[in-house]
Chains A and B, each alone.
Chain A
Amino acid sequence: MDIFLQQIINGLVQGSIYALVALGYTMVYGIMGLINFAHGEVVMIGTLVTITVAGSLIKAGMPVALAGLAGLMAAVLVCMALGWALERVAYRPLRNAPRLTPLITAIGMSIVLQNLAMMIWGRNYLTFPALLPKIDFEFAGANFTAIQIIIVLVSAATMGGLLLLVYRTKLGMAMRATAQNPAVASLMGVNINRVIAAAFVIGSALGAVAGVMVGAYYEIAHYQMGFMLGLKAFTAAVLGGIGNLAGAMLGGILLGIIEALGAGYIGDLTGGFLGSHYQDIFAFVVLIVVLMFKPSGLFGEKTGDRA
């Protein structure tokens, strides 16, 4: 049983990270119906910026906790600016273009950001400065660390904050209105451009937080780390019902746990025929099965046709 608990913890932590990233996808999608493929790269930039800022501050003699905080702030600011710029340069001019056009732009931006990051931070893997003291816990035979608890807590707090923002503030109301019908919302005095830009900026800020979490957890970063993470997070968002905030969070956590349990048990269940080499496909298989029965994801509302 200790393995089961351990696997749940593993999945929960991984899932929290997926959820944070998935929120970025789902916010943009919910409002504009656009897959922001470059979101994974935003997360990557967030991690790398933190490494540079926190790393140099620590070297300059600043206390570790403070440097970490400064790194986080820097990452959030840089990513917000990046999100804003992405929307401005790559997506806004295409708002009325055919549906696939922004998808290609997003892929293009993704390539551009990766290569820019490679030029700035180099091709090597980078280590993330140890921001937190290493504290290990043991509970009922399962091991976990302080950073894992922090990741889950920070994710939960961030998501809670986001829900408050969307459902309790004026900006949130404008966002929901825009998601429902941009044309009508603009007639009601909502500044669509500002709302969409805000969605990008907030999504990117969440991405930056996720980036710092990923960095602090694995203590490793690389200019290509964003792609796979983005892909998984996107899967999570669709699993939960893309465009739905709660769906993205639950989808992310679910995906993390499915992967952990899949890797842990599928080999025994199938007598060794399917092992952990199929870890990466569990997510997709579950996704396909879910979508066959619930075509708009687990929590997605039945929406009309989006042309």
Chain B
Amino acid sequence: MKKGQFFRSMPGIGLAAALLIALPFVAALGGQAWVRILDFAILYVFLALGLNIVVGLAGLLDLGYIAFYAVGAYTWALLASPHFGLHWPIWAILPLGAGLACFAGVLLGSPTLKLRGDYLAIVTLGFGEIVRIFLNNLNAPINVTNGPQGITLIDPVSFGAFKFSGATQILGVSLSGPQKYYFLLVALAILVIIINVRLQNSRVGRAWQAIREDEIAAKAIGINTRNLKLLAFAMGASFGGVAGGIFSAMQGFVSPESFSLIESIMILAMVVLGGMGHIPGVILGAVLLTVLPEVLRYGVGPLQMAVFGKMLVDPESLRMLIFGLALVLVMRFKPAGLWPSPERQRELQETGK
């Protein structure tokens, strides 16, 4: 899964592609649940990369990122479910969800972007909670979101007659629902990665990095910091919106409890743990933090049995304990993340800052 220099070369890309294509079939040997976990891992890669634009590139600490995800998810849920009796097609909803999320990003960003660091963090955190609480309560006086009951029977992704739920035969290969979503998500993720890479090396991306490093200096050399920060917010938010739409379709059910603060924190943890501003690092962080709790869930119990011969500690408590410890330890020994960008690593070594 590594994508270092080697993968810039043709055989490298070929190998990576082969791995990506084979992965869901390999995972399916362990059960469709693992394919589903993979799906979520990629969904989180998607989200983490979106947040990476805001936090990693532009250096804006956003603790309410999940709000945009929620906007996308509810856009899909409302426009493709029996709730309003609407069943719009994907090419209409997904861009609309992204657009609405983008609008929400601008709405949040425009009054708050002059705030610095931790003040911005708490305001975005508040915004995330505000969105969730509104979703939870907009069932009266007019029932828009159906409140805490959530929305059920949401349409799966479909292109014409080709539905993404349930198994189908393609070219003699049987593909399950989660496997189809896997390929859709991988395609979208690759798109996001390309956009991220292009952005990072573009004029805009460099301007963001300048703002991240020193806002005053950036302003002094003529960068329109306000507009560029807004752009970062809007771009990050649109990715969140798209991810939300897919989540909605994949789950078939959304309710406000899926969009709590802890989700925002988890996505931020993925970005920071992997290596802020470094795309392969962020991907690694997202995959690790999605898969690790699952591995622990099924690994801790049997492991205890094997080592001690009996259950000493309730595996469920131990799972989260180990997860928390892992966060602490990784940050302790790799403060710039597991796979930081080379420049960042150099900085750390040189200045100790």
Contacts and interface: CB of A to CB of B under 8 A. Distances in A.
B215 A305 contact: yes
Contacts of B130: 281, 284-285
Interface of B: 55, 61, 111-112, 114-119, 121-123, 125-127, 129-130, 133-134, 136-137, 141, 214-216, 261, 265, 268-269, 272-273, 276, 313-314, 317-318, 320-321, 323-328, 331-332, 335-336, 344, 348, 352-353
B119 A104 contact: no
Given A110-B324, A116-B321, A103 B127 contact: no
Question: Size range of the interface on A?
Answer: 35 or more
Among B318, B327, B352, max chain A CB count under 10 A is at: B327
B346 to A, nearest CB: 13
Interface stretch (A61-69, A165-173, A286-294): A286-294
Given A119-B317, A280-B133, A288 B127 contact: yes
Nearest to B320: A115
A178 B114 CA distance: 27
Given A100-B61, A119-B314, A277-B137, A305 B116 contact: yes
7 contacts: A29-B118, A33-B118, A90-B328, A90-B332, A99-B117, A288-B111, A295-B115
Contacts of B112: 288, 291-292
Contacts of A124: none
A94 interface: yes
Contacts of B136: 277
Interface string A80-120: 00000000011001101111111111011111101110110
A54 B272 CA distance: 41
Nearest to A37: B265
B117 A103 contact: no
Nearest to A237: B122
B328 A112 contact: yes
Given A118-B317, A277-B137, A306-B116, A287 B325 contact: no
Contacts of A93: 332
B123 A291 contact: yes
A231 B136 CA distance: 20
A100 B125 CA distance: 15
Contacts of B117: 99, 306
Contacts of B141: 272-273
A94 B327 contact: no
A297 interface: yes
Contacts of B314: 119
